[in-house]
A and B are shown apart, each in its own frame.
Chain A
């Protein structure tokens, strides 16, 4: 076997070891994550909390601000995704209703005026 081939094999072995080390043994560590990185069930529960608080407080502007930490996705879409997930995973009807009615309120949300539009 030629030396160049052996050299190439050595590089490949080194690369494989490096990939394993860099991705598995000692990957880049992330801390201080943002809520948009939360798993879908946590996100859905977050939306449920916002919906529960909204139904008690009645302040859609505050609710929208709370949803904003989940990323750039429009609030109505965030809630729609949460509704879908909750429905698909058999969440209690009361929770579903809370999220749905919150989503309905968001449909009429006017971000410019800060109030639901008729």
Chain B
């Protein structure tokens, strides 16, 4: 074939060759490196650690506004649910009580909708978009703002000039706002103990409800159930869909349990499941409900 008859196909070959070579380079030898990422991109277990730390910090500083801002950075679809599930999981895994309690307390504070009140003009929380891009020998793409939440920036202090070309961080002012948390009060007193015959309960339960003097549910109260050869600790408020002051424990029929609250109050001995009857033939194990109140 003569040269003139080959047509422009060699040009296409060149383009394809160049394209393939550069893809090889960009995907294998020098892929994009992400720096300056946001907490929402963390691996699930690191997110859990982050969430637990937020809760621990909340217990320490009682700053619900700040905790909310921090939690938004994780982009959980349902923050309270995420905290509750993690608290239950942490409890099941035998994580430290302080961690479980902190998660429960923060979940409660959020679910109660305690709205922090700004006490000063500067006490505001601002989520801001932070468009950034960076260039380095290998291409570096910093996470840019796709949403206010994704790129939410924890910022503190007063307005200051942008830090550098690399990270032009806006600097609004989220300052601590003291907010309510469940407060320790007087020791709980057993107000009511009754058998519950509910066919909807698949297993016999010890149901505990804790309420404060205003008859409001109190979450994060540690409940200790012991029996011959065993003991279990759990917390109220982890089943917030039932009640923030609710907790339960599955009983084994025939076993006697003693229950007390870790924060004090009277121990309740000899708790055991007794039979309930529905009609003549239908018998099943009943549950127990204990209501503790702070006088």
Q: A33-B43, A41-B153 are in contact. Are A53 and B14 (CB under 8 A)?
A: no
Most buried by A among B41, B44, B59, B159: B41
- Within 8 Å by CB of B60, from A9, A19, A41, A53, lies A53
Most buried by A among B20, B53, B159, B175: B53
Q: Contact between A13 and B157 (Cβ–Cβ < 8 Å)? A: no
B281 interface residue per 8 A CB criterion: no
CA distance A30 to B41 in the complex (A): 9
Q: Contact between B73 and A49 (Cβ–Cβ < 8 Å)? A: no
Give the residues in chain A near B15, CB-CB below 8 Å: 10-11, 13-14, 17
B56 interface residue per 8 A CB criterion: yes
Q: Contact between B171 and A90 (Cβ–Cβ < 8 Å)? A: yes
Q: Contact between A7 and B14 (Cβ–Cβ < 8 Å)? A: yes
Number of interface residues of A (CB under 8 A): 53
Give the residues in chain B near A16, CB-CB below 8 Å: 18, 22
* B interface, size bucket: 35 or more
Q: Contact between A92 and B98 (Cβ–Cβ < 8 Å)? A: no
Q: A11-B14, A56-B60 are in contact. Are A41 and B169 (CB under 8 A)?
A: yes
Q: Contact between B56 and A57 (Cβ–Cβ < 8 Å)? A: yes
- Within 8 Å by CB of A52, from B49, B61, B175, lies B61
- Within 8 Å by CB of A19, from B25, B35, B157, lies B25
Q: Contact between B23 and A52 (Cβ–Cβ < 8 Å)? A: no
Q: Contact between B32 and A18 (Cβ–Cβ < 8 Å)? A: no
Give the residues in chain B near A14, CB-CB below 8 Å: 14-22
Interface positions of A from 11 to 69, Cβ below 8 Å from B? 11-19, 21-23, 27-28, 30-35, 37-42, 44-46, 48-50, 52-53, 55-57, 66, 69
Q: A27-B31, A27-B32, A53-B56 are in contact. Are A42 and B14 (CB under 8 A)?
A: no
Pick out which of these stretches binds chain A: B5-13, B255-263, B264-272.
B5-13
CA distance A3 to B8 in the complex (A): 9
Interface positions of A from 63 to 105, Cβ below 8 Å from B? 66, 69, 86, 88-92, 94-95
Q: Contact between B34 and A21 (Cβ–Cβ < 8 Å)? A: no
Q: Which chain B residue has the least Cβ–Cβ distance from A9?
A: B14
Q: Contact between B160 and A41 (Cβ–Cβ < 8 Å)? A: no
Nearest CB of B to A48, in Å: 8
Give the residues in chain A near B49, CB-CB below 8 Å: 35, 66, 69
Give the residues in chain A near B22, CB-CB below 8 Å: 14-19, 21-22
A113 interface residue per 8 A CB criterion: no
B216 interface residue per 8 A CB criterion: no
Q: A27-B32, A46-B53 are in contact. Are A7 and B11 (CB under 8 A)?
A: yes
Q: Contact between B38 and A42 (Cβ–Cβ < 8 Å)? A: yes
B141 interface residue per 8 A CB criterion: yes
Give the residues in chain A near B12, CB-CB below 8 Å: 10
CA distance A116 to B12 in the complex (A): 69
Q: Contact between A38 and B38 (Cβ–Cβ < 8 Å)? A: yes
Please give the residue numbers on chain A whose beta carbons come within 8 Å of chain B beta carbons, in ascending order: 3, 6-19, 21-23, 27-28, 30-35, 37-42, 44-46, 48-50, 52-53, 55-57, 66, 69, 86, 88-92, 94-95
8 contacts between A and B (CB under 8 A): A17-B18, A21-B22, A22-B22, A22-B31, A33-B43, A49-B53, A52-B61, A89-B157
Please give the residue numbers on chain B whose beta carbons come within 8 Å of chain A beta carbons, in ascending order: 3, 10-23, 25-27, 31-32, 34-39, 41-44, 46, 49-50, 53-54, 56-57, 59-61, 70, 73, 98, 139, 141-143, 153-160, 163, 167, 169, 171, 175-176
Known: A15-B22, A46-B53, A89-B157. 15 other contacts (CB 8 A): A10-B10, A11-B14, A11-B17, A14-B14, A14-B22, A18-B26, A22-B27, A28-B27, A37-B34, A44-B154, A49-B57, A49-B70, A89-B169, A90-B158, A94-B176
